[in-house]
Chain A
Amino acid sequence: MDIPFLYETLLKLLTGVPLTLQLAVSSLGLGAILAVILALARLSGLRLLAWPASCYVFIFRSTPLLVQIFLIYHGLGQFHGVRASFLWPILREPYWCALIALTLNTAAYSCEIVRGALLSVPPGQIEAARACGMSSFTLHRRVVFPLALRHALPGYGNEFILMIKSTALASIITLMEVTGLAAQLISESFRAIEILIVAAAIYLFINFIVTRLVQWAEYALSADLRPPPAALEQGGAL
């Protein structure tokens, strides 16, 4: 093994990590907001809101992310209306196209996670909140979302990991994140295996951290599922 080469490759690929993380974090954040809106629309009971949301989820879950990225990057430019619009400076940038595609895609998946989590909130606890005079906003902020978050976290952790890996597809529209840099190095050095192993190790490490963070959050939010502190102190006796 050529350790110095691997080390050199690692240093080069690490410069792509900020872009990888930026794409993942931004798309997950924006996607989460969109997902909550979509889930609330689907659960609203109003067909005018629920139906478009369902269509959206169906379309973005049923088509490959790679195709979505291509369509947004290459496809939108075909329309004169888009090229003439004020959005064109954004839509012709590969960065924004990748971010938009990743966001729209994760929103569709997360919508289903959020919807399931909202449905899991016990109706009795919502009723108790209404009965004590909470506004709809307070009710969601204090009761519904905290309970739904606890339910969504394991599934959402999965989505975090998937999105970290999905950012690799942004390299196809010339973004120099970890995979983009790896592809570039391969074309210069033709040492594909070594470079790809280093790239894989970087993703592995990022996702190791992400997994740990999700586990920590799950633990922090599940005090009610563990034995009470007194039971632990007294050796299980209540």
Chain B
Amino acid sequence: MTDQLKPAVRLTELRKSFGAFEVLKGISLEAMEGDVVSILGSSGSGKSTMLRCINMLETPDSGRIEVGGEAIQLKQAGGRTRPADRHQLQRMRASIGMVFQNFNLWSHMTILENLIEAPIHVQKRPRADCVDEAEALLEKVGIAEKRNHYPAHLSGGQQQRAAIARALAQHPKVMLFDEPTSALDPELVGEVLRVMRALAEEGRTMLVVTHEMGFARDVSSKVVFLHKGAVEVEGSPHEMFAAGRSDCFRQFLSGSNGLR
């Protein structure tokens, strides 16, 4: 992936506490357009919280979030930080695709309806276009024949691929993945990772929280290791896996189930 030196995502000094517990202790991170950033770290290190701050599913206490060169506007109100402009927030969220660990497909809608929901009702695009595009996306992730099925009728791997297609249907500038394969049976992990690799090869900007070391090493352009709410080390996968620049990270690697 060539850096065009345009940051797609830039986080600056992100801080977030739950009660007295500071989960994010001033995180700064940059992803250029076309970057695939793998975010590693042990359980509770704040990976999900950081990712969820990018589309404001969690509101940071302080810091700055820029996506596609635009900063999400925040304000202080009643001792808490809040989004300052609802419409800006909704517009920015629509340009960020989120893939959850538990898929979170809307259970009362068919797969096709899941894909066209936000394009039609948030982005107000013409229905016929959305349907055509959704069908192409389902083809791409390999579940075209499931278009009229409900999420409950799909395997976990198929649901996650549908969820990825749903995020893509919004033409996102950035894709966020929060442990997309952690809820899957081992034999279903591969089909989801294949889709994600294909997206990386297309040059999509992706931030991926994962425990899949193989994916982090082979696919990402940058690996970030979070430890206790701070970026402990970051670098290219080559640097990170070859040298193991921090004791903490080495320990983490030896504790994880290795390079699959």
By a CB distance below 8 angstroms, the chain B residues around A143 are 106
Q: Does B94 contact A (CB under 8 A)?
A: yes
Neighbouring B residues of A231 by C-beta, 8 Å: 153
Residue of chain A at shortest CB distance from B89: A133
A132, B93: Cβ atoms closer than 8 Å: yes
Seen from chain B, the residues whose Cβ lies within 8 Å of a Cβ on chain A are 55, 57, 86, 89-96, 98, 100, 102-108, 117-118, 121-123, 145, 148-153, 166-167, 170
Q: Does A228 contact B (CB under 8 A)?
A: yes
Asked whether, in the complex, the Cβ of B57 is within 8 Å of the Cβ of A131, the reply is yes
A230 to B170, CA, bound (A): 29
Given A127-B57, A224-B152, A134 and B107 touching (CB < 8 A)? no
Question: Is A125 touching B106 in the complex (CB atoms < 8 A)?
Answer: yes
Contact (Cβ within 8 A) B153 A223: no
Which of A124, A133, A146, A227 contacts B100 (CB under 8 A)?
A: A124
Nearest A residue to B163, CB-CB: A128
B102 touching A124, Cβ below 8 Å: yes
Would you list 21 pairs from A and B whose C-beta atoms are within 8 A, ordered by A residue? A124-B103, A125-B106, A125-B107, A127-B104, A129-B106, A130-B57, A131-B55, A131-B93, A132-B98, A132-B166, A132-B167, A133-B89, A133-B170, A134-B90, A142-B117, A142-B121, A221-B108, A223-B150, A224-B153, A225-B152, A227-B153
Residues on A lying within 8 angstroms of B by beta carbon are 122, 124-125, 127-135, 138, 142-143, 146-147, 150, 221, 223-225, 227-231, 238
In the complex the two chains form, is B104's CB within 8 Å of A229's CB? no
The answer to whether A128 and B106 have CB atoms under 8 Å apart is yes
The one of B93, B148, B152 in contact with A229, judged by C-beta atoms closer than 8 angstroms, is B148
Q: Chain A residues with Cβ under 8 A from B152's Cβ?
A: 224-225
Q: How far is the CA of A229 from the CA of B153 in the complex (A)?
A: 10
Least CB distance from B102 to A in Å reads 5
Q: Which residues of A contact B92 (CB under 8 A)?
A: 133
- Binding site secondary structure of chain A: helix
> Within 8 Å CB of B108, what residues of A?
146-147, 150, 221, 224
CB contacts (< 8 Å) of A138 on chain B: these are 121-122
A134 partner residues in chain B, CB cutoff 8 A: 90, 118, 121-122
Q: Which residues of A contact B148 (CB under 8 A)?
A: 228-229
CB distance from B109 to the nearest CB of A (A): 8
The CA of A125 and the CA of B166, in the complex, are separated in Å by: 13
Give the residue name and chain of the B residue nearest to A147 (CB). B108
| Cα-based distance from A138 to B94 in the complex (angstroms) | 13
State which of A130, A147, A238 has its C-beta within 8 Å of the C-beta of B107. A147
Say whether B106 contacts A130, CB under 8 Å.
no
> Is A228 a contact partner of B153 (Cβ separation < 8 A)?
yes
Q: List residues of chain A with CB within 8 A of the CB of B91.
A: 133
Query: Cβ of A228 and Cβ of B149 under 8 Å apart?
Result: yes
Which residues of chain A are within 8 angstroms of B57 by Cβ–Cβ distance? Answer: 127, 130-131
A225 to B86, CA, bound (A): 35
- For residue A132, which residues in chain B have a CB less than 8 angstroms away from its CB? 93-94, 98, 117-118, 122, 166-167, 170
Q: What distance in Å separates the Cβ of A189 from its nearest Cβ neighbour in chain B?
A: 53
Docked Cα-Cα span, A230 to B150, in Å, equals 12
Q: How far is the CA of A124 from the CA of B89 in the complex (A)?
A: 19
* Bound complex: CA A223 to CA B150 (Å): 8
Known pairs A128-B105, A132-B93, A132-B117 / 6 extra A-B pairs, C-beta < 8 Å:
A127-B57, A128-B100, A132-B166, A133-B89, A146-B108, A228-B149
Chain A nearest CB from B159 CB (Å) reads 12
Chain A CB count within 10 A is highest, among B106, B122, B151, B170, for B106
A131 & B106 in contact (Cβ 8 Å cutoff): no
Q: Which 6 A-B pairs have the closest CB atoms?
A: A133-B94, A224-B150, A133-B93, A128-B104, A124-B104, A132-B118
Residue of B nearest to A134 (CB): B122
Expressed in whole angstroms, the minimum distance between the Cβ of B204 and any Cβ of chain A is: 17
What chain B residues lie within 8 Å of A122 (beta carbons)? 104, 107
